[in-house]
């Protein structure tokens, strides 16, 4: 499988590699939310009933810091654009005590994680 040079996947991998190297204990509490999969109608129906949520962010750091319950990051490439559902998800989680943001590229995601971890 070929992954484009500046794809969201590569940017997210770079950010997670950084986190695993610098903060391995926090990396063990950070997960990818796989909502981008293609599925048949029936598989999509089952996934939705199981809790797949349209617009859910790509990464979740289940690590409290600075009064926040955790960190949600929606990853985008430098030219990516969030969907209305992704923006709404970030807004909803931000209203209930989570730090939610959209990051354009690995560097921005890394800076966001540094900032968030530093709040604690």
Give kind and range of the element (H or E) at residue 108. helix 106-118
CA distance 17 to 107: 12
Report yes or no on 85 lying in a domain. Answer: yes
Report yes or no on 3 lying in a domain. Answer: no
Q: Above 80 in pLDDT, residue 86?
A: yes
Mean pLDDT (the chain, rounded): 92
Please report the pLDDT score of residue 44 as a whole number.
Answer: 82
Question: Which residues constitute the domain of residue 12?
Answer: 8-118
In three-state secondary structure terms, 114 is helix
Report yes or no on 2 lying in a domain. Answer: no
Q: Once rounded to an integer, what is the mean pLDDT over residues 81-92?
A: 97
Contact 117, 89 (CB under 8 A): no
Report yes or no on 25 lying in a domain. Answer: yes
- The CA-CA-CA angle for residues 27, 61, 7, to 5°, reads 80
How do residues 30-72 score in pLDDT, each as one tens digit?
999 987 667 788 888 888 888 889 999 999 999 999 999 999 9
Report yes or no on 48 lying in a domain. Answer: yes
Contact 71, 113 (CB under 8 A): yes
Report yes or no on 37 lying in a domain. Answer: yes
Number of domain units in the chain = 1
CATH number of 107's domain: 3.40.1350.10
């Amino acid at each position: 499988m070929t992954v484009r040079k500046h794809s969201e996947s590569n940017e997210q991998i770079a950010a997670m590699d950084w986190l695993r190297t610098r903060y391995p204990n926090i990396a063990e509490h950070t997960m990818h939310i796989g909502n981008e999969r293609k599925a048949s109608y029936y598989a999509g129906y089952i996934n939705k009933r199981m809790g797949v949520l349209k617009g859910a962010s790509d990464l979740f750091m289940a690590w409290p810091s600075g009064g926040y319950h955790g960190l949600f990051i929606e990853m985008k490439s430098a030219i990516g654009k969030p969907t209305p559902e992704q923006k709404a998800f970030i807004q909803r989680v931000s209203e209930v005590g989570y730090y939610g943001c959209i990051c354009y590229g690995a560097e921005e995601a890394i800076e966001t994680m540094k900032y968030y971890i530093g709040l604690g």
